[in-house]
Amino acid sequence: METFIAGISTLSLARWQFGITTVFHFLFVPLTIGLGLLVAVLQTAAYRTGDVAWDRMTKFFGKLFLVNFAIGVVTGIVQEFQFGMDWSRYSVFVGNIFGAPLAIEGLLAFFMESTFLGIWIFGRGRVSKRIHLASIWMASLGTILSAAFIVAANSWMQHPVGYTIDAKTHQAVMTNFWAVMTNSTFIAAYGHVLASAFLTGSVFMLAIAAWHLRKGHDLAGFGKAARVAIVVTVIAAIATMFLGDNQAKEMEAQQPMKMAAAEALYNTESGASFSLLTIGDLSDNPVFQVRVPHILSVLATNTWDGKVLGINQIQKQAAKKYGAGSYVPVIWVCYWSFRLMVGLGILLFILGGVALWLVRKRRLEKSPRFLRFATWMLLAPFLANSFGWIFTEVGRQPWVVYGLLKTSKAVTLISPGYVATSLIGFTAIYSLLAVIEIGLMLRLAKIPPVIETPEEAERVPELIY
Amino acid sequence: MLLTIHPLSPSGLEQLWFFLILVLWLGYFFLEGFDFGVGTLMPFVSKDDLDRRVVINTIGPVWDGNEVWLLTAGGATFAAFPLWYATVFSGFYLALFLILAALIFRGMAFEFRHKREDAKWVRWWDRAIFWGSALPALLWGVAFADFVHGVPVAANATWTGNFFDLVKPYALLGGLSTLLLFTLHGATYLGLKTEGDVRVRAHKIALRLAPLTFVAVTAFLAWTYQTAHTMHHVGLVPPLLPIVGLLALAGVGWLVREHLEGWAFIATALVIVAFFTTLFLNLYPNVLISSVSPHFDITIVAAASHRYTLEVMSWVALIFTPLVLLYQSWTYWIFKKRVSRPGEANETHHTATNV
């Protein structure tokens, strides 16, 4: 009985720890991926045109990119080791399959981004301009590749493929690596994750450029940066929404409970309506709801009258298939995180659309109210990314590997004191990091770049750090 | 979950992966070993902020790539030996937490220190660099000594001990050995990569550290040898590798005195390779020794992934490892120039410098 109680609290502590460290880590990762590509684009423009304004923007956003990259790297180390620390039973169960993409990510992607970024930071003026430009592209490619392997690993947890269960050791054993890397869940999720990462990068760039444009700093440079950011924002927002919708169909087929929880849809419906907003609780009898008829069926099944399964029906089926127990995730978390993610995504699309319209009317620089709005929208992609992952991870519960391993059976059998210690430790460290990081970012983002002549811009300090 | 302990000897593929995991750790300790040393020595070889910046810039372009060896070693262990990964990282819970915390602050320090000119800001990050380097240098040695000496693992790879079972005298001696060894390695690296006063100070420190390191490492290897579980294994009886390592260590002082800086660095690298290879050979055919009973030792066979995973991983390693080695060496080539205080480059010319 005692170990039973200990097991429960270790479980909830370990879940909190994973949630906190992962959400924190993933604040920085999409910005690294998105801004890395944008800095490479800025530098390519500088290289092609020889215009110092492009070069200024490369340096300016490059500096912010590096501050962000550093914190992504150091929090990423924790990610890799906490599977073993807190989820050792999970690690033994999935290691044959889950470990492979993690190792490959290190070998293919992390070496590439860190090594070429080192060349990029220290190589300006020391290597040829062409190699310097190539190094930021290689680093950017590394970040894009790293996302592929980690999303493939996560997709296997959402929808296991290419495996069998070893009868003797009860481990999941890989039978087809190609199947793991071409998992339909992975293809759908990777596109959505990448598009939202580019969106994060572009909105970040637009927000900061907008601030400087409003203050009248370096109009030539920030005008250019803003235009690049706006184009990318529009394209990435459309891609994020389109690929997200595609993912929803995949989800309805593979994890119907997650979809039902996202909608708080208790009973199976044909031509189901989409709930925009609910006031009161999310039980069967809400106080007030705004619903759009048929839209949920369209979203989930692509047909006007398609059947969408309800929580009660799926629970009954699951209990029959997997044995007694609750198979319903925390509904209010799923419902609200899903809505907030989608809502913020639409808002960002509107941001990009309005900005594009202002650029075409040549009014962007003369619209202080819009520029102020654009700066505040800086927060939106980070929130949307977090809500998206919270939704997809909470929505998979009680499973850690869907249909194969429950989260409660995955946690390390260790005294809760250890987990509590590291939970408090990591939370304290991460809070401190957040304060330092945000302070430094704001500081650097507000200092306008120095306008230099081409000769001055070429000068390289003897000591970089 | 019931784990059947196979009495079989490991297959060729499993042996290969045991060897590859060793190679990844060797890569990590060889490369981040001097990073740790450089960080630990920073307060001792610098007289002012400019010196400290020189010291940091010697590893600036490479420290992050060096740390990826750790991530790859961790990921490869997860993939090839899930039970090893799971048991070690859950068992060394608090030690690993301390290492991670140290690595976090240290990595941030390198990137953030120069971003503001505020003296207080810089001072805090200097502390992070010192402690963030010295602490992992010590703790990795403690952890690896524990692997060899045995940890409180009972049936089904469950831990029965606590944090204090991991800090026995033997393990502490192991930690002291790696701390001294990495610091010495950092000193020979600084001798190779700097100019002027920093270089002179690094030499002096290397001369003073070499005998201390020799004593600690000799004592640790002798103790390891005496309590070895698997004395009959190649490389330990006769103890060729430890002797090669100790000879190299004995030569470091002389090489530094003769200004053969490149050779001195190679010598400290060789000691690191001999040191950790000895420990791994000592483990074989286990990956973890149980201090409870030899029945609970975790063998390579029990810990390993199935054949298919190992095959896939072997192909990936075969194709991409040479590529990584190629471009990582290329970085060292690009940044091969010594780092000096601005305006003082090439001021000092030693007659015999590099290899």
- Give the length of chain A: 465
- Please tell me the distance in Å from A390's CA to the nearest CA on chain B: 24
What pLDDT is attached to residue A1?
40
What pLDDT is attached to residue A270?
82
C-beta separation of B252 from B184 below 8 A: yes
Q: Measured between alpha carbons, how far is A79 from A61 in angstroms, rounded to an integer?
A: 27
What pLDDT is attached to residue A267?
85
Q: Where are the domains of chain A?
A: 2-255+329-447
What pLDDT is attached to residue B140?
95
Round to the nearest angstrom and report the end-to-end CA distance of chain A: 56
State which residue of chain A sits closest to B88, comparing Cα positions: A84
Strand partners, B151: B290
ipTM of the complex: 0.90
What pLDDT is attached to residue B232?
52
What pLDDT is attached to residue B155?
74
Cβ contact B324–A89 (<8 Å)? no
Cβ contact A77–B321 (<8 Å)? no
What is the residue whose two structure tokens read 């020889």? A50
Cβ contact B1–A121 (<8 Å)? no
Residues of chain B with pLDDT under 70: 1-8, 228-237, 345-355
A68 interface with B at CB cutoff 8 Å: no
Strand partners, B288: B298
What pLDDT is attached to residue A7?
52
pLDDT means per 10 residues in chain A (465 residues)? 57 93 94 97 95 95 94 89 91 92 93 95 92 97 95 95 90 93 94 97 97 94 96 97 90 90 85 76 66 79 82 91 92 92 95 95 92 96 96 94 92 87 91 92 93 86 85
What is the residue whose two structure tokens read 């090839």? B80
Query: Which phi-psi region, left, alpha or beta, contains residue B197 (left: φ > 0; alpha: ψ -120 to 50)?
Result: alpha
A246 interface with B at CB cutoff 8 Å: no
Cβ contact A436–B112 (<8 Å)? yes
What pLDDT is attached to residue B105?
94
Q: Where are the domains of chain B?
A: 12-334
Cβ contact B312–A91 (<8 Å)? no
A72 interface with B at CB cutoff 8 Å: no
What pLDDT is attached to residue A264?
85
What pLDDT is attached to residue B166?
80
CB-nearest to A74 from B103, B114, B331 is: B103
What pLDDT is attached to residue A268?
86
Quick one: three-class SS letters along chain B? CCCCCCCCCCCHHHHHHHHHHHHHHHHHHHHHHHHHHHHHHHHHHCCCHHHHHHHHHHHCCCHHHHHHHHHHHHHHHHHHCHHHHHHHHHHCHHHHHHHHHHHHHHHHHHHHHHHCCCHHHHHHHHHHHHHHHHHHHHHHHHHHHHHHHCECECHHHCECCCHHHHCCHHHHHHHHHHHHHHHHHHHHHHHHHECCHHHHHHHHHHHHHHHHHHHHHHHHHHHHHHHCCCCCCCCCCCCHHHHHHHHHHHHHHHHHHCCCHHHHHHHHHHHHHHHHHHHHHHHCCEEECECCCHHHCEEHHHHCCCHHHHHHHHHHHHHHHHHHHHHHHHHHHHCCCCECCCCCCCCCCCCCCCC
CB-nearest to B90 from A69, A414, A433 is: A414
